[in-house]
Amino acid sequence: MMKTNAGGPEAVIAGYAQLQKQVAVMLELARSGEWETLIKRQTDYLQLAERLRRLDAEAPLSDSDAERKAELLESILADDMAIREQLMMRRDELGQLMGSTRRKRELHRSYGRQASSVASASDDFGQGIS
């Protein structure tokens, strides 16, 4: 994936640039709700990050390369934080869906056929629909 033949500073910077592109794609996937694709990309991201960690430990960077690396890391971390926010919103959304499903199941057990209309009314009420 890193397209340099040496393990020097150029390879390190290229690796961070590739990592930054990867996390930017992952952020777009999270924003568009493509969760399965995001998970698949995350595996590639983690593998790239591990290879880069090893490469980075072996290659001394000049001041300008270190500055570029810091810029790339800031961008990577900002996108990573945004992905985490998207994931937390999705987690909350799934929690609400699970709660609604659980309430419907409990109502159905308690009230049988009438439970479906009660559950629908309950969901509509919670969303401000009259």
Query: Domains of the chain by range and CATH?
Result: 9-126 (1.20.58.380)
**Where does residue 33 rank: exposed (0-12), middle (13-18), buried (19+ CB within 10 A)?**
exposed
Give the pLDDT of residue 96.
86
For residues 3 and 54, the answer to whether their CB atoms sit within 8 Å is: no
Sign of CA dihedral 71, 77, 80, 84: negative
Give the pLDDT of residue 2.
45
The arithmetic mean of pLDDT across residues 74-90, rounded, is: 96
Q: Which residue has the higher pLDDT, 103 or 5?
A: 103
The arithmetic mean of pLDDT across residues 71-82, rounded, is: 97
Question: Which token pair is 100?
Answer: 């609604």
Residues 6+ apart with CB under 8 A from 18: 1, 2, 48
pLDDT tens digits for range 90-126: 989 888 888 777 777 777 777 776 655 655 655 665 5
pLDDT tens digits for range 36-72: 999 999 999 999 999 999 999 888 999 999 999 999 9
Give the whole-number percent of the chain exceeding pLDDT 70. 82
Distance CA 83, CA 76 (A): 10
